[in-house]
Chains A and B, each alone.
Chain A
Amino acid sequence: MAKDIDPRLIAQLASRRRFIGGGAAAAAALVLGPSFLAACSKSDDSSGTASGPATPSDDGSPATGKLRISNWPLYMADGFVAAFQTATGLTVDYKEDFNDNEEWFAKNKEPLSRKQDIGADLVVPTQFLAARLHGLGWLNDISESRWTNKKNMRPDLLNAAADPGRKFSAPYMSGMVGLAYNKAATGRDITKIDDLWDPAYKGKVSLFSDMQDGLGMIMLSQGSSLDDPTIENLQKAVDLVKEQKDKGQIRRFTGNDYADDLAAGNIVIAQAYSGDVVQLQKDNPDLQFVVPESGGTTFVDTMVIPYTTQNQKAAEEWINYVYDRPNYAKLIAATQYVPVLSDMTDELNKLDPGLASNALINPAKATLDKLQSWPALTDEQTQEFNTAYAAVTGA
């Protein structure tokens, strides 16, 4: 009998996500020229953060028209959007153009600060960015009356410190940040952070360029706690990464593109996201995912509605549709991340017997015990930490 997914065990899964280093950055920077300039030239006019309307008025009529969704790549099940369109009569313009939290923010903050349409009615930032957007007053609340399936949410997520009661953010997927390795190439099990620095793997290791995903597990391996991260502890981790980088141990700082390098054999050990590895294993059974002995971190990506949305009701309809267990099971079967809804076992096993007992979708307690999540950082901390890590990853 498959184990139920115990919400208490998953309670520790809480915050974080992916980042495509190169491609997105490149494309964004090419496209971004004008908005950079806009950002630069804007020197003295007060860039007021218009206080966002907490809840727009809702006349109770059904959602109609078009919904524009901007989501991460490979974060959707085949046929899901079409089924939603059939079920609701709405038209969906689904784009996989959300590649990187910080870059998305750098690109969209100017129009958002001026309350201009950003071309999306619903976006899926990681929790820390959702909180930042909310703090700036740029998110609408999600109407309770249109989100009746909210009751299916994992209680630990419902009461998360980032958004108690989930007023403005609806978790979409959660997952683990750990290590992926090619066992055929390493020739042994990888269990700890020190294995990354084994001279045998020189130039075959990749780390995340994202600060939280990249440094979290390294700080844990140095005995630093993530509960109250200090710049001293963070700098200690940055120094270690710098030392290994200068030795030529680290081949690349990556976003999601580590997956290609891992599959191509250019990288044998990578910092990785749990769901990606399950998907990659289908092509290469030698790939393994492990949470390092000293611990790994977690992330939660959330659906939010920017206050510039052109179709609030349709966005809420979408969120409610995703929160239906049979629908959500299809998403999990495709992405292989950890569900944000409770009691998914039956629905998952209906789609694929044994799916619910997959250790990466339903991690064992021993794994969950090793996971920590980053707390909500202040703006100053985020900036300070990003700058410290960028001095190594961007140089």
Chain B
Amino acid sequence: MVLPALAYLGVFYVVPFFSLFRTSLSTMGGSIYLPKLTFAWDFSNYGDAFSMYREQIFRSFGYALTATVLCLLLAFPLAYVIAFKAGRYKNLLLGLVILPFFVTFLIRTLAWKTILADDGWVVDALQWVRLLPPDGRILSTAGAVIGGLTYNWIIFMILPLYVSLEKIDVRLLEASRDLYANNRRMFGKVILPLALPGVLAGSMLVFIPSVGDFINASYLGSTQNTMIGNVIQKQFLVVKDYPAAAAMSFVLMALILAGVLMYARALGTEDLV
């Protein structure tokens, strides 16, 4: 029964993975437009990738981390309400959460560009109430990029959280009440620990794609907000330095993996879902 899935993973994950790994250690030679990649254990690609683009790497992690925390803060109350308080509106609310994601990622991001435009009503209104200086802007700032990441990936936080909260046996909450737990204690001692798998899964589902994202940075950011995804894209499509781009992808992957493992350990669960 698992054979098709294994075959799928083999073809679409393992093979490209090793191919990319091989590329990352290759040197380019031959003609410029049809370069030959020669496998050479060329680790300098890695050194270069990290030293030249350290700023973008750190920025990507900073943005993704902020977006993940924001997603968690926004999604937890929502998932909680849907799981425990929504009653017969549960499915309707879940449907409403999913609805915006029927529109493609690109269009949703571009829509923000229109909403947040410098001459748009949002900026005008914020300037009028003095929340923004007269020459201030929202678009093309770090805030816009982080906001875009949060908005685009939050569904991957809401759904796992909802699933783990929904599984909680209400009798446990009643039992904690019987033992004179106040709301805060009930949340800290019962709900949160039981929701941790959802927190972990959601954080990863948001964090991992956010780190490598380049759409939000290209459309909602400025030249000061480029992320590592933009660098990789440029290396692949314009400079056509495949080994450098592949090495950067691996640096990114390694850093994400390290981050995820530390996070999983900190949350005290080895069990990913």
A interface with B by C-beta (< 8 Å):
21-23, 25-29, 32, 36-37, 39-44, 46-47, 49, 100, 102-103, 105-106, 109, 113, 132, 136, 203-204, 209, 245, 248, 250-253, 260, 264-266, 379-380, 382-383, 386-387, 390, 393-395
Contact = CB atoms under 8 A, between A and B. Distances in A.
B23 A43 contact: yes
Q: Most chain-B Cβ atoms within 10 A of its Cβ — which of A46, A47, A209? A: A47
A265 B117 contact: yes
Nearest to B34: A47
Contact of A264 (B118, B222, B224, B237): B118
A59 to B, nearest CB: 33
A37 B16 contact: yes
A106 to B, nearest CB: 5
Contacts of A383: 32, 239-240
Given A266-B118, A394-B235, A251 B222 contact: yes
Contacts of A44: 36-39
Nearest to A267: B118
A73 to B, nearest CB: 15
Interface in B211-247: 214-215, 218-219, 222-224, 226, 230-231, 233-242, 246
Contact of A22 (B26, B32, B37, B219): B219
Given A40-B19, A136-B33, A387 B236 contact: no
A109 B56 contact: no
Contacts of A395: 52-53, 55-56, 226, 231, 234
Interface in B86-143: 106, 110, 113-114, 117-120, 137, 139-140
Nearest to B141: A203
B130 to A, nearest CB: 20
Interface of B: 16, 19-20, 22-23, 26, 31-34, 36-39, 52-53, 55-56, 106, 110, 113-114, 117-120, 137, 139-140, 214-215, 218-219, 222-224, 226, 230-231, 233-242, 246
A387 B222 contact: no
A80 to B, nearest CB: 28
B242 A40 contact: yes
Given A393-B234, A394-B239, 4 more contacts: A25-B233, A44-B39, A47-B34, A394-B233
Contact of B33 (A40, A253, A379): A379
Contacts of B137: 203, 266
A250 B37 CA distance: 36
25 contacts: A22-B219, A26-B214, A29-B233, A32-B236, A36-B242, A37-B19, A40-B20, A43-B22, A43-B23, A43-B26, A49-B34, A102-B240, A106-B237, A251-B222, A251-B223, A252-B223, A260-B113, A264-B113, A264-B117, A264-B118, A265-B119, A266-B119, A386-B239, A390-B235, A394-B235
A108 to B, nearest CB: 11
A26 B222 contact: no
B12 to A, nearest CB: 9
Given A26-B218, A109-B34, A394-B230, A253 B235 contact: no
B155 to A, nearest CB: 18
A10 to B, nearest CB: 30
B223 A387 contact: no
Contact of A29 (B56, B119, B219, B236): B236
A26 B26 contact: no
A-B complex: 7 closest residue pairs judged by Cβ atoms = A394-B234, A265-B119, A22-B218, A40-B23, A41-B19, A43-B37, A264-B117
B205 to A, nearest CB: 18
Contact of A380 (B32, B110, B240): B32
A364 to B, nearest CB: 32
Contacts of A386: 238-239
Contact of A23 (B16, B106, B139, B246): B106
Nearest to B218: A22
Given A42-B37, A132-B33, A102 B237 contact: yes
A39 B235 contact: no
A395 B233 CA distance: 11
Contact of A387 (B110, B139, B241, B242): B241
A155 to B, nearest CB: 31
Contacts of A109: 33-34
B19 A264 contact: no
A266 B34 contact: no
Nearest to A36: B236
B6 to A, nearest CB: 19
A186 B90 CA distance: 53
A32 B236 CA distance: 10
Contact of B237 (A29, A40, A46, A203): A29
A27 B33 contact: no
Contacts of B36: 43-44, 46-47
Contact of B140 (A105, A136, A245, A266): A266
Contacts of B226: 394-395
Nearest to A103: B237
A382 B31 CA distance: 13
A26 B56 contact: no
Contacts of B240: 102, 106, 383
Contacts of B114: 264
A387 B119 CA distance: 35
Contacts of A253: 223
Contacts of B118: 204, 264-266
Q: Most chain-B Cβ atoms within 10 A of its Cβ — which of A22, A46, A100, A265? A: A22
B148 to A, nearest CB: 13
A113 B34 contact: yes
A43 B39 CA distance: 7
A268 B113 CA distance: 16
A26 to B, nearest CB: 5
B218 A136 contact: no
B216 to A, nearest CB: 10
Contacts of A132: 33
